[in-house]
Amino acid sequence: MNLVFLGPPGAGKGTQASKVSENRGLPHISTGDILREAVAEETPLGVKAKAFMDSGSLVPDDLVVSIVAERLERADCADGFVLDGFPRTIAQAEALDATLEGMGRSLDGVLYFKVDDDQVVRRLSGRRICRDCGENYHVDFMPPQTPGVCDKCGGELYQREDDKAGTVRERLKVYYAQTADLVDYYRERGLLVDVDASLVPSAVREEVAASVGALEGKED
């Protein structure tokens, strides 16, 4: 199962991708997570990416495309993958097609997480993430048992710098300007599956599981 999870920031792609990854044993590849790790470790990639990320704009295509191409070559992707936050531009989508073609593979489906802007802003401004294990929470909709502490590992929860109000608006603008065209790109190729991402996480999870199941049926 070679899957892409597409949609605006805050649509729940990461939360759902990690569930599918857990249930199906497929690697969850989040370019945002890879880039944040590179920034934290101050690698050459991280140093180049930091300013773009802090301002809410996209990191240049060539940097991101090569990270993903390398990641897909690894052995754990042999049975498939869930790409979250990539591709984000038509150029990235074309590069992904070319990379997969070179491997004799192709995408099985693109799940499109649909949610409106007001909900994106509410979700992102309340989002908290565990510093240690990366688990996601929301102060109102998915609160941890103890405020500020991860239920899973006891790690400290923090708010991403780019989840603060001003940057969220910029990220939405960037989404409409550079990423939203991918909906048509994949619809035209018969790969798009709509997901109502405005529902509560458990309901979205069911819809996602059903969609992935249906794609698997198609593949057989």
Q: Which residues are catalytic?
A: 13, 88, 127, 160, 171
DSSP 152-209: TT-PBEE--GGGSHHHHHHHHHHIIIIITHHHHHHHHTT-EEEEETTS-HHHHHHHHH
What is the bridge-based pairing of β-strands 192-196 and 157-158? Answer: unpaired
Question: Integer distance in angstroms from the first to the last C-alpha of the chain?
Answer: 11
Contact 113, 14 (CB under 8 A): no
Of 59 and 111, nearer to ligand AMP (C-beta) is: 59
Instruction: Check residue 4 for interaction with ligand AMP (CB under 6 A).
Output: no
> What's the closest the beta carbon of residue 146 comes to ligand AMP, in angstroms?
25
User: Is residue 59 a contact point for ligand AMP (CB under 6 A)?
Assistant: yes
Residue 141's identity, in one-letter code, is F
Alpha carbon distance 160, 168 (integer Å)? 11
User: With binding defined as CB under 6 A, does residue 29 bind ligand AMP?
Assistant: no
CB of 103 to ligand AMP, least distance (A): 19
Smallest distance from the beta carbon of 209 to ligand AMP, in angstroms? 22
The two beta strands, 81-84 and 2-6, are parallel
When asked if residue 15 is in the footprint of ligand AMP (CB under 6 A), the reply is no
For ligand AMP, the binding residue among 17, 26, 58, 215 (CB under 6 A) is 58
Residue nearest to ligand AMP (CB): 32
CB of 9 to ligand AMP, least distance (A): 5
Return the number of the residue (42 or 219) whose C-beta is nearest ligand AMP.
Answer: 42
Does residue 7 bind ligand AMP (CB under 6 A)?
Answer: no
Give all strands of the β-sheet with 109-114 in edge-to-edge order: 28-30, 81-84, 2-6, 109-114, 192-196
| CA neighbor of 192 nearest in space, from 73, 111, 133 | 111
- For position 175 contacting ligand AMP by CB under 6 A, the verdict is no
Q: Is the peptide bond before 87 cis (omega within 30 degrees of 0)?
A: yes
Q: Hey, what amino acid is at 182?
A: L
Q: CA 213 to CA 172: how far, in whole Å? A: 30
- Single out the residue of 8, 12, 171, 207 in contact with ligand AMP (rule: CB under 6 A): 171
Count residues near ligand AMP (CB under 6 A).
16
- Binding residue for ligand AMP (CB under 6 A) from 16, 21, 31, 211? 31
CB of 13 to ligand AMP, least distance (A): 8
The contact set with ligand AMP (CB under 6 A) reads 9, 31-32, 35, 52-53, 56, 58-59, 64, 85-86, 88, 92, 162, 171
